[in-house]
Amino acid sequence: MSPQTDMYGDTGLPRALGSPPGFSTPLEQGGPPGTGETPFDRATAHLDAPLAVVDLQAFDANAADLVRRSKGKPIRVASKSVRCRALLERVLARDGFAGIMSFTLAESLWLARSGCTDILLAYPSVDRAGFAELTGDAQLAAAVTVMVDDPAQLELIDAARPAGGAGEEVRVCLELDTSYRLLGGKVRVGARRSPLRTPDGLAALARTVVRRPGFRLVGLMAYEGHVAGVGDEVAGKPVFSRAIRMMQAAARKELAQRRWEAVRAVRAVAPRLEFVNGGGTGSVQHTAAEAAVTEIAAGSGLYVPRLFDNFRSFSGRPAALFAQPVVRRPGPGVVTVLGGGYPASGVAGPDRLPVPYLPAGLRYDPQEGPGEVQTPLLGPAADGLRIGDKVWFRHAKAGELCERFDQLQLIDGERVVGTVPTYRGEGHAFL
């Protein structure tokens, strides 16, 4: 397999530098093994599982830490990592957060109709009906900025305009490819995103945008997923962790220079560029240090899923959990819970699975793993669990959990203080 073939996950990290074979996360700290009595159990004693919760104290503490690391630069919240309007509103009400980074045009329009006024669509779209709606409504067009990295995307938008080719001006952001190249480009570390890699390439498309009626270039984005989404302190893997840190340090240095040059080249074409977006949860403090960057993107750091346990520079508090009920006790040291097989996107592997969290001391049966309709769990803690007790899990990623549940129970201490719908609970599955 050549280095350019499909060996990359959603962060673009080669499997050779991603989770090593046999990757496992150490058992989490939790309540007394097998008692079934945790603050989450007490808060939800009146509720049946399956259910999902967000610990508001942890959520708010994580938000405060993101602001601390952003060093005064505003944080644009990645909606794909939250997928709940009530929690998007909660974090945007805090100082230090401004704007939403959305993941589909349909979602962007829905959020804009709901009152959001600063939405950056992070991925190109070919939603013709959506573009017809965007270009036909002044309020929506003022609220949403779309992503473009190819002139063909501009042509598609124009073709979707109302009859006569008029309509509202479309706000446009260009995306810079952040991947780290070695050996003359034969080896690439980073996700396959934008084809625009050089300052000259960005400037050329910028000129196309500013010369084309009906479009206004307002932003530049560069997401370094191989730094922001890849942990550099994997427990029990010191050599591997050092290799990750060396790669990321070199990638950050190369990108900082290229991003600065790209911003300079684009500003020469569009002097009134409104924002330069960069970063992600794992790279907030590094990206914020770049003078060329005006705002930081982050979202996963609010929920802190298991894939964000392995970062040396920060540690968050798990805020989003889901519970499955014990429905069977097949024998000593074994319980079976209902469902639970909620793998995350990316290259398939053990690191994409949810992890049993509370009570501490449970693990998957290696012959079954987390299943579609049932999940056996092994370990001494199983003997303390009864039929109907809850087992708490952490998802591998952040917002994907919300695709499994209609509601989130909001917990403060040992009380449920609210119940809010997820995107799914509001009848939306945008991807």
How does pLDDT run across 221-255, given as a tens digit for each residue? 998 877 766 766 677 777 777 877 778 777 788 88
pLDDT digits (tens, 9 = 90+) for 320-331: 999 999 999 999
- What letter would DSSP give residue 381? G
pLDDT of 59 reads: 98
pLDDT digits (tens, 9 = 90+) for 394-419: 999 999 999 999 999 999 999 999 99
Give the residue-averaged pLDDT of 12-41: 48
Residue 8 confidence (pLDDT) above 60: no
pLDDT of 388 reads: 96
pTM of the predicted model as reported, rounded to 2 decimal places: 0.88
Give the residue-averaged pLDDT of 118-146: 97
Q: Do residues 198 and 215 lie in contact, with contact meaning Cβ atoms separated by under 8 Å?
A: no
Q: Helix or strand or coil: residue 283?
A: helix
pLDDT band at 36 (very low <50, low <70, confident <90, very high): low
Give CA–CA dist 122/278, Å, rounded: 11
pLDDT digits (tens, 9 = 90+) for 339-386: 999 999 988 889 899 999 999 999 999 999 999 999 999 999 999 999
pLDDT digits (tens, 9 = 90+) for 161-203: 987 678 999 999 999 987 777 777 777 777 788 888 899 999 9
Backbone angles phi, psi at 177, to 5 degrees: -70, 125
Q: Six-digit token pair at 114?
A: 């709901």
pLDDT digits (tens, 9 = 90+) for 268-315: 999 999 999 998 888 898 899 999 999 999 999 999 999 888 777 788
364 CB-near residues (< 8 Å, 6+ apart): 353, 356, 370, 375, 376, 377, 378
Mean pLDDT across the chain: 88
Give the residue-averaged pLDDT of 88-109: 98
Give CA–CA dist 270/215, Å, rounded: 12
Distances (CA, A) of 412 to 57, 58, 59, 239, 324: 6, 9, 10, 40, 20
pLDDT band at 16 (very low <50, low <70, confident <90, very high): very low
Q: Output the DSSP codes for 356-379.
A: EEESSS-EE-TTT-S-SSEEEEES
